[in-house]
Amino acid sequence: MINIKKIFFSILISFCCISPLCNVSAQEETEALKVYLFWQQGCPHCAQEKVFLETLEEQRGEVEIVYYEIGSDSSVYRLMTEVKERLGVENSGVPLTVVGNNFLVGWYNEEVSGAALNNAIEFALENNSPDIIQEIINGDNSSENSNDSESISSYTMNLPVLGEVDIRHISLPLVTIVLGVLDGFNPCAMWVLMFLIMLLLKVEDSKRRWILGIVFILASSAVYFAFMVAWLNIILFLGVIEWIRFLIGALALIAGGYSFREYLVNPNSGCKVTGNEKRKKVFDNLRKIIQEKSFILAIGGMILLAFAVNLVELVCSLGLPVLYTQVLSMSSLSSWQYYGYILLYIFFFMLDDMVVFFIAMITLQMTGVTTKYNRYSRLVGGILMIIIGLLLIFSPETLMFA
């Protein structure tokens, strides 16, 4: 006779032994994929990504977001440094997002960066990617340098003549310097200074010559700084709108094409914004200001004239500063870093003016930049505007410097 009690207890004991294993398996299957975000207070791109990640975590139960605030604890910074070394991240900014053994530096918008992040999550889930950060915390280096060729974004580009270029070696300071120098070598930015120097050379008082010239250069720089800061804040406010990026990219292509055309058909590369009548009026005003007996009134007049002239000249050189502020807005920086880069841009923008002015004041001879250099600056500037315009439209993530 079958012992019912024995069978019942055997089934019960078997169930108790097997069920923990089932629970473990279920737990392993449903274990959430951790997405790590290193962020910083005051970073607008960090704030935008956090909003996206909060929504992502609500929509995808298999994803868990772990936040690390830089500055809250020195150990967080050390962890981020070690993560960057392990993953081969050369950028120094935030936000830094890590998924498995992939990473994303910076944040543009949901369509670009959000899509890249979702692709990284799918890749990590499908391939059971190792959790690099958890390995670092646990002291495990088994997968070190395992993803040298597996970053979310592609860092190489095939460019004409140059061939394959690693964009990680192109830094934001280098872009700032190059665009600033090219912006300075345009005829509209130079002709007023040349008139000013010509008049100042006739002034006998050396101190008056230096002060009036420097005041004009500083006032011109202030106008440019105010314009670029205002434009940057507009782009930061509207930057999440996709068509703004496309519009600026299209304008860059048009401006670049125009500069290239001017190089081909206009050897003299003269400024077309200000005609002869406007130039004569500015020249007359300069003469009156310099001949003003009151030194204080002369300085005030020089400041006002510099503001008025440079506001008009912005029309001539609008392309490069607008394009640069768009690129700058896509970088993960704090407010003081944004303004610092604009100051760096303006320094190199005014560098040729300062060099010409200082040489003239020291040698007491007229000197300047010939039209040949202006013409070549149009060529190089036009090519750069076309390249950056294409990147803004088709590959904006390559311009997300950190």
232-285 tens-digit pLDDT: 888 777 754 567 778 888 888 888 888 778 778 776 655 655 556 666 777 777
The pLDDT-based confidence of 210 (bands split at 50, 70, 90) is very high
Q: Give the position of tokens 């391939």.
A: 127
Cβ atoms within 10 Å, residue 252: 27
The answer to whether 366 and 198 are in contact (CB under 8 A) is yes
Is the predicted pLDDT of residue 144 greater than 50, yes or no? no
Q: Please indicate, yes or no, if residue 25 is contained in any of the structural domains.
A: no
The answer on 201 and 224 residing in a single domain is yes
Average pLDDT value for the chain: 76
Candidate from 136-150, 235-249, 330-344, 351-365 with smallest mean pLDDT: 136-150
Cα-Cα end-to-end distance for the chain: 80
Candidate from 136-145, 161-170, 244-253 with smallest mean pLDDT: 161-170
The answer on 244 and 347 residing in a single domain is yes
Q: Please indicate, yes or no, if residue 24 is contained in any of the structural domains.
A: no
Query: What is the C-alpha separation between 217 and 222, in angstroms, rounded?
Result: 9
Query: Considering 84, 119, 153, which residue would you say is the last residue of a domain?
Result: 153
Rounded average pLDDT over 56-63: 88
Q: Please indicate, yes or no, if residue 167 is contained in any of the structural domains.
A: yes
The pLDDT-based confidence of 363 (bands split at 50, 70, 90) is confident
Q: What is the DSSP string of 361-398?
A: HHHTS-----HHHHHHHHHHHHHHHHHHHHHHHH-GGG
Candidate from 58-72, 221-235, 313-327 with smallest mean pLDDT: 313-327
Q: Please indicate, yes or no, if residue 188 is contained in any of the structural domains.
A: yes
pLDDT > 70 in the chain, percent: 72
Q: Where is pLDDT greater, at 65 or 156?
A: 65
The answer on 181 and 58 residing in a single domain is no
The answer on 170 and 248 residing in a single domain is yes
Structural domains counted in the chain: 2
The answer on 148 and 260 residing in a single domain is no
The pLDDT-based confidence of 395 (bands split at 50, 70, 90) is confident
The answer on 101 and 147 residing in a single domain is yes
The answer on 203 and 88 residing in a single domain is no
Angstrom CA distances, 386 to 42, 51, 193, 254, 271, stand at 33, 33, 29, 8, 21
Q: Please indicate, yes or no, if residue 10 is contained in any of the structural domains.
A: no
The answer on 201 and 181 residing in a single domain is yes
Task: List, for residues 289-338, the tens digit of each pLDDT value.
Answer: 887 888 888 899 888 888 877 776 666 666 788 888 888 887 767 778 88
The pLDDT-based confidence of 151 (bands split at 50, 70, 90) is very low
pLDDT > 90 in the chain, percent: 9
Range of the domain at 135: 31-153
Angstrom CA distances, 378 to 250, 255, 324, stand at 18, 10, 16
pTM, two decimal places = 0.60
Query: Considering 153, 181, 215, which residue would you say is the last residue of a domain?
Result: 153
The answer on 376 and 317 residing in a single domain is yes
The pLDDT-based confidence of 170 (bands split at 50, 70, 90) is low
Q: Please indicate, yes or no, if residue 174 is contained in any of the structural domains.
A: yes
